[in-house]
Amino acid sequence: MTLTLLISLAICVMLAFYRASITSWVLAALLIVPVISIQASFSDYVLIPVGIALLLFIVLFGIPYVRRNVVSGALLKIFRNILPQISATEQEAIDAGTVGWEGELFSGNPDWDKLMAFPKCGLSVTEQAFLDNEVEQLCAMLDDWDITHNRADLPPEVWQYIKDKGFFGMIIPRHYGGLEFSAQAHSAVVCKVASRSGTGAVTVMVPNSLGPAELLLHYGTEQQKEKYLRRLARGQEVPCFALTGPFAGSDAGAIPDYGVVCHGEFAGQQNVLGMRLTWEKRYITLAPAATLLGLAFKLYDPEHLLGGEADRGITLALIPTDTPGVQIGRRHFPLNSAFLNGPTQGKDVFIPMEYIIGGTSRVGQGWRMLMECLAAGRSISLPASSVGGMKLVARTSGAYGRVRKQFKVPIGKFEGVEEPLARIGAHTYMVDAARRFTALALDMGGKPSVISAIIKYHSTERCRIVINDAMDVHGGKGISLGPDNYLGRFYQQMPVAITVEGANILTRTLMIFGQGAIRSHPYVLKEIAAVHDHDRQRALHQFDDALFGHITFALSNAARSLVFGLTGGRGIAAPEGLETRRYYQHLTRFSAAFAFSADVAMAALGGSLKRREKISARLGDVLSLMYLCSSALKCFEDDGRQAEDLPLLDWSMQDALYKIQQAFDGVIENFPNAWVRGLLSFLVFPLGKGFSPPSDHLGHQIATLLMKPGDARDRLTRGIYVPEDEQDPVGALEAALASTLVSEPLLASMEEARKAGKLKALEEPLRIAEARGLGIITPEQALQLERDYALRRKVIMVDDFAPEQLRAGK
């Protein structure tokens, strides 16, 4: 039997490195059986049935005509009976968008050369100039405490500046008066503004996200584009888009808002063909100030005035808010945020058919239109605003950890504080890398529906971790609200990002793997299409090709997972670079294990996988983490493989690989079938689980990096607003960090003088004056220490108020 096992293992290795066809498996069977007969000295009585079985196997699976009509035909009937019905909205969500890098990760054998061939992320000269000038000026105008506490809105001059400088028209082509920025520039603008003010960022990003401008660009008639895009680009129209309502949140396809096609009076004209709309929406950003309302509703045509069916499906319309019956103006108050957000209602509001986005030809296509455009909000706006906050947190937490001292030691040097600082730095590095890579994919023409769900979920979840860690590092400084608190509002408003554009629980448990398993898998979508094809012969050919391609794909990935698990991924081709080579190999190993595990889960659980949300979520975690790792490796290459950045990359990668291992373990341990649990455990972890969390030493390196000025710290936090004004709390902290490093040797000499009995003063300012008088320090050094003390005091102090200042209405 030893020879049999060796040959079987050799075949596994061959199949691991070379994706084999079904014919190869037949040949493998032909090779193994003679060996078995020799090794076991089988008698003719044993060999005859074995030979017959083998011959039957070859005929059924090795001859395409027989296989197609006997095996595939029978399986096609079974699949049609057991495949869960896909709703129209689910089908449109699956069809929307394109497959990007996640398709490589689903292949079980990602092509890393393809990743390296992606262009380097970057902005044009015009885009960079806008970031350095107009965005810089906007950030300087934003006082977040004044905005959130005193005004509950942006100042009028800020509103006007945003409109005048074209911030509402970043995605609108220059032909219509817009800026026509790339997705990367759009992301960079939102990121920088978010580092200064959440309200400012939301106000800028919403008109450039899912809303009237984007929908008009993709689907509007030429007349609609000419009428509205120029006005939107110049800020003459303030847009909003109303989708969510009291009874349709995450299940947006169940919206109860409706329109009925009819004739009516409009603008003084009689017998106008249009519709009467009734709606109730909430959580609509910019609705209180909107002049142009985008609306999603279900359209009905009971009198068949448009022809066709009475139920026409979800439709989108663009309605001026001064239309009689449109109600706007009231506001929600989401966690002390000051961005304008509120409800809108209408009852039997009559509008003409020309208000439908894209005209009557787009009736009933609203859900698909939304799904195709939703990628912008998930791929750009929320990741960018999250990263802007994370970079602010990374820069300020490191500086505060160095400036603030307890027991005469900077708090950032305590190991207990190094731990959150390491998470802050590494999570910021990885999420920013994913933000840049995803925006690049959009600029290359992609509409990544699965990736947009991945980046939305992980950017906001890791942002939540980072801001919580920052609050721990800052202690009392973080919890005392006021003009000098640069974290408090960010901390308060974090759940808003978690909730919008698809709540994170829903995104993780249903969307990432649920859509990815169908959309990104190389065969599943083809199988589903064949099952629903009513042309029998065409369906049979397509199903046969897809099914046996799928079987070969699964068997090959099973072999690859086993072999790579035994070798630890060694021997896998990977891009050059000693620092990163093993990471590429580990990811290839996990890609094969993921592709096989996904196939096993779909085969073993069938339609019930849709309800096994925890298993689906863990498989989604594996896919997500592989995407984040790919982005981090791409970022490291783009930045020139900087040695100073290695602690950030190493911590990020090691943390992600460990979490991938834990996610696989969760899938295996909770799989309902014991035989499948054993199979997955053997093929995914043949030698056990060998990955560990990042070491304390790596965490120490990242904490040190954050606590001193340098190129690595600047690269990590590039693209945010860093004020130079020392009266600004962030500007003061930056100045205090630089001053601390200069002043510490002088303070050390004063401390020695104090211990020697030369200095008697108890307070630091008096001690500085005493040291200058005794000649221990020079007058210039005394000025430096006085400034350092003032800066440290400003950084450490928190705001206080007279009681009447905190009363309601004040």
In Å, what is the CA distance from 386 to each residue of 175, 302, 381, 399, 497? 31, 46, 9, 20, 8
Q: Point out the catalytic residue in the list 127, 501, 527, 734.
A: 501
Amino acid at residue number 253: G
Place of tokens 């994913």: 434
* Burial environment of residue 572 by CB neighbours within 10 A (0 to 12, 13 to 18, 19 or more): buried
Output the six-digit token pair for 100. 């990007």
Secondary structure of residue 320 in the 3-state scheme: strand
Q: Is 501 a catalytic residue?
A: yes
Place of tokens 């190869």: 24
Q: Which of 151, 113, 70 is nearest to 584 (CA)?
A: 113
Residue 248 DSSP class: B
Amino acid at residue number 274: G
Hey, what long-range contacts does 321-326 have (CB within 8 A, 24 or more apart)? 321/290, 321/291, 321/292, 321/293, 322/291, 323/349, 323/351, 324/349, 325/349, 325/350, 326/293
226 phi and psi angles, rounded to 5 deg: -65, -35
25 phi and psi angles, rounded to 5 deg: -70, -35
Kind of pairing between the strands at 311-320 and 341-352: unpaired
Please tell me the distance from the alpha carbon of residue 279 to that of residue 277, in angstroms, as a whole number: 7
- Residues 212 and 232 sit within 8 Å (Cβ to Cβ): yes
Please tell me the distance from the alpha carbon of residue 395 to that of residue 718, in angstroms, as a whole number: 10
Helix, strand, coil in percent for the chain, rounding step 5: 65, 10, 25
Output the six-digit token pair for 155. 């100042």
Torsion, CA 498, CA 483, CA 472, CA 408, rounded to 10: 160
In Å, what is the CA distance from 773 to each residue of 284, 584, 748, 770? 65, 63, 17, 5
- Residues 458 and 434 sit within 8 Å (Cβ to Cβ): yes
In Å, what is the CA distance from 497 to each residue of 389, 464, 494, 502? 12, 9, 6, 10
Query: What is the Cα Rg of the chain in Å?
Result: 31
Output the six-digit token pair for 228. 């509205």
Please tell me the distance from the alpha carbon of residue 467 to that of residue 487, in angstroms, as a whole number: 8
Please tell me the distance from the alpha carbon of residue 4 to that of residue 1, in angstroms, as a whole number: 5
Query: CA 746, 750, 754: angle at the middle one, nearest 5?
Result: 170
Kindly report the number of other CB atoms within 10 A of residue 244's CB atom: 17
343 phi and psi angles, rounded to 5 deg: -90, 165
Please tell me the distance from the alpha carbon of residue 194 to that of residue 188, in angstroms, as a whole number: 10
Query: CA 624, 591, 630: angle at the middle one, nearest 5?
Result: 50
The residues that are catalytic are 501
